[in-house]
Structure 1
């Protein structure tokens, strides 16, 4: 199917009669949409909270362990020539 055929088919579909929409469909869509928005907002807040907790945990760990500091030597060099 080339471009002109697709355009002709799209025009034919759009020029046809529109299907009737049930009258109670609008209220159902609004109710479901509101529920989806609330759920999406809750998930987004939860993810931000988890990210914040991970940052705090990493900061506490880094300040406690101090991985940037070289660990102290566990053996001492032999002392000779005293």
Structure 2
């Protein structure tokens, strides 16, 4: 099926008389969609907050622990020259 034929088929399906839509369906769909968007937005903000907190915690740990520095020697060299 070519694109034009597909579009014509879709128009034909949409143009047919269908069962009537319940009167409150649109309002329910809008309400559910708004709720879904609010939940997604809240989840996204919480995840960003957790990511920022993790970065901050890592930065504080790295500044305190200094994992890139060589640890001090645990043994002392022998005393010579006396």
Scaled by the length of structure 1, the TM-score of the pair is 0.76
Tell me, what secondary structure is at the counterpart of 1:67? coil
Establish whether residue 28 from structure 1 lines up as the match of residue 56 from structure 2. Answer: no
Aligned length: 80
5+ long unaligned stretches in structure 2: 1-5
Ranges in structure 1 where 5+ consecutive residues have no aligned partner: 1-6
**Residue of structure 2 equivalent to 1:42:** 42
C-alpha distance in 2, partners of 1:13/1:33?
26
**Partner Cα distance (1:51, 1:57) in 2:** 10
TM-score norm. by structure 2 comes to 0.76
Matches within 5 A, 1:1-82: 17-82=17-82
User: In the aligned structure 2, how far is the partner of 1:34 from the partner of 1:16?
Assistant: 30
Per-residue deviation, 1:78: 1.7
- Residue 14 of structure 1 and its aligned partner are, at CA, apart by 6.0
Q: Give the root-mean-square deviation of aligned CA atoms.
A: 2.3
Instruction: Quote the Cα distance in structure 2 between the aligned partners of 1:70 and 1:50.
Output: 31
